[in-house]
C-alpha cells in the first residue's frame, strides 16, 4: 500500500506541475498582443504626423489677404513677381484684392496658369445710341400751341473772369534715371548669395529725408511686412520696383505718383535697432544690386 500511495502522490505532483507550466505561457501571448497594439499606435502617430506635414505644405501654397495688404506687398513677401501672382489668380489690372481673399501662391498641379482677361470698356449710353436701340415709335401729331408772349430781355450783369484752379504738375514717367534715396554711409551691401533681405542699409539720423530713387507710383505704404518696419514700395515700370524700409514716418500714400528726388518718408528705426534706411530694388520679382542703378558717390 505505501508504494501505491507513493505512485498516486507522484502522479498528482506531475499533473500539478504540468498545469502550472501550461498557465505560465499566457503572459507571453499577452505581451505579443501588446507589442502589436504598440505598433498600431506608432503607425497612427506616424500617419498623423504625415498628415500635419501635408497640411502645412498645402497652407504654404495659399495666402489669406490681411488688412493693409496689396498684391505688390504679398508678392514682395513671398519673393514673387507681382504679374505672376496676378496671373495665377486671374486678377486683372489694377490688381484689386480684398481682405479675407485666398490667393494661390503657386499654379495648381497639371493646370495651366490662368491668364487675366483684359477689361473691356462698356459703351457709354448716349442719346444717339439710346435712340438707335429703342424701337421706332409712331409719330403722334401734337396740337399747335400758341407762341408765348415775348419777354423783355434780362439786364446783363458783368461777369467775373473764371479763376483757374491750380493743378498739380504731372509726374513724368520712369526715364531710367536714379538718385540716391538718402545721404549717408552704406552700412551693408547687396549679397546675391546671402540669406534674408537682399538690399543695402544706409546710415543716418532720425527724421532724415528719404527720397524716391526714380519716377514711379507708390504701390504699398504700411508696416505689414515683418522685418521692414514702416515700408514704402514704388513701382517704376512693369519690371522694376524699389523698397524703402525702417522709416519713422511715411509721407505718401498708395496710388500716389512720385518723382525722383521727392521726399517720401523720414528715416527712423522701425523694425531695426538703429536709424537707417533699408533700400532694395527688384527686377521681375528678384532682388538685384541697387549700386548698379544708383549713381556713384
- pLDDT attached to residue 170: 72
- Going by their DSSP bridges, the two strands 200-203 and 186-188 should be labelled as antiparallel
Note the pLDDT tens digit of each residue in 148-202: 555 655 555 555 555 555 565 677 899 999 999 999 999 999 998 877 789 999 9
Residue 270 vs residue 109, higher pLDDT: 270
Residue 13 has pLDDT above 60, yes or no: no
CA distances from 165 to 38, 162, 168, 171 (A): 83, 9, 10, 18
Q: Identify each DSSP E strand in the chain by its residue range.
A: 62-64, 102-104, 186-188, 200-203, 209-211, 216-222, 230-235, 240-250, 257-258, 263-267, 276-283, 286-288
Q: Considering only CA atoms, which of 183, 223, 204 is closest in space to residue 275?
A: 204
Residue 217, SS3 per DSSP = strand
Residue 215 has pLDDT above 90, yes or no: yes
Determine the Cα–Cα distance for residues 264 and 207; give it in Å rounded to an integer.
Answer: 11
Residue 73 has pLDDT above 80, yes or no: yes
The structure's pTM equals 0.62
- pLDDT attached to residue 193: 84
Note the pLDDT tens digit of each residue in 88-101: 999 999 999 999 99
Residue 129 has pLDDT above 70, yes or no: no
The three cell numbers locating residue 203: 546710415
The percentage of residues in the chain with a pLDDT greater than 90, rounded to a whole number, is 54
- pLDDT attached to residue 252: 98
Note the pLDDT tens digit of each residue in 218-243: 999 999 999 999 999 999 999 999 99
Amino acid at each position: 500500500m505505501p508504494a501505491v500511495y507513493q505512485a498516486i502522490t507522484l502522479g498528482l505532483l506531475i499533473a500539478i506541475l504540468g498545469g502550472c507550466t501550461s498557465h505560465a505561457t499566457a503572459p507571453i501571448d499577452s505581451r505579443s498582443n501588446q507589442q502589436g497594439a504598440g505598433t498600431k499606435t506608432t503607425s497612427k502617430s506616424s500617419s498623423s504626423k504625415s498628415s500635419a506635414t501635408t497640411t502645412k505644405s498645402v497652407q504654404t501654397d495659399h495666402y489669406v489677404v490681411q488688412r493693409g495688404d496689396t498684391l505688390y506687398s504679398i508678392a514682395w513677401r513671398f519673393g514673387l513677381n507681382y504679374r505672376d501672382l496676378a496671373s495665377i489668380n486671374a486678377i486683372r489690372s489694377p490688381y484689386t484684392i480684398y481682405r479675407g481673399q485666398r490667393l494661390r501662391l503657386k499654379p495648381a498641379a497639371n493646370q495651366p496658369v490662368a491668364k487675366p482677361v483684359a477689361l473691356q470698356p462698356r459703351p457709354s449710353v448716349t442719346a444717339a445710341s439710346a435712340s438707335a436701340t429703342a424701337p421706332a415709335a409712331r409719330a403722334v401729331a401734337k396740337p399747335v400751341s400758341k407762341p408765348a408772349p415775348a419777354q423783355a430781355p434780362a439786364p446783363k450783369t458783368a461777369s467775373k473772369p473764371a479763376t483757374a484752379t491750380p493743378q498739380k504738375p504731372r509726374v513724368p514717367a520712369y526715364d531710367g534715371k536714379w538718385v540716391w534715396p538718402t545721404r549717408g554711409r552704406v552700412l551693408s551691401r547687396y549679397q546675391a548669395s546671402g540669406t534674408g533681405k537682399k538690399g543695402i542699409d544706409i546710415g543716418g539720423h532720425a527724421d532724415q529725408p528719404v527720397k524716391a530713387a526714380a519716377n514711379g507710383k507708390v504701390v504699398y505704404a504700411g508696416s505689414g511686412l515683418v522685418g521692414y518696419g514702416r515700408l514704402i514700395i514704388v513701382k517704376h515700370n512693369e519690371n522694376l520696383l524699389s523698397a524703402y524700409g525702417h522709416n519713422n514716418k511715411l509721407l505718401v500714400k498708395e496710388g500716389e505718383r512720385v518723382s525722383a528726388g521727392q521726399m517720401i518718408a523720414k528715416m527712423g528705426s522701425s523694425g531695426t535697432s538703429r536709424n537707417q534706411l533699408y533700400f532694395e530694388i527688384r527686377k521681375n520679382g528678384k532682388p538685384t544690386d541697387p549700386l548698379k542703378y544708383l549713381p556713384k558717390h
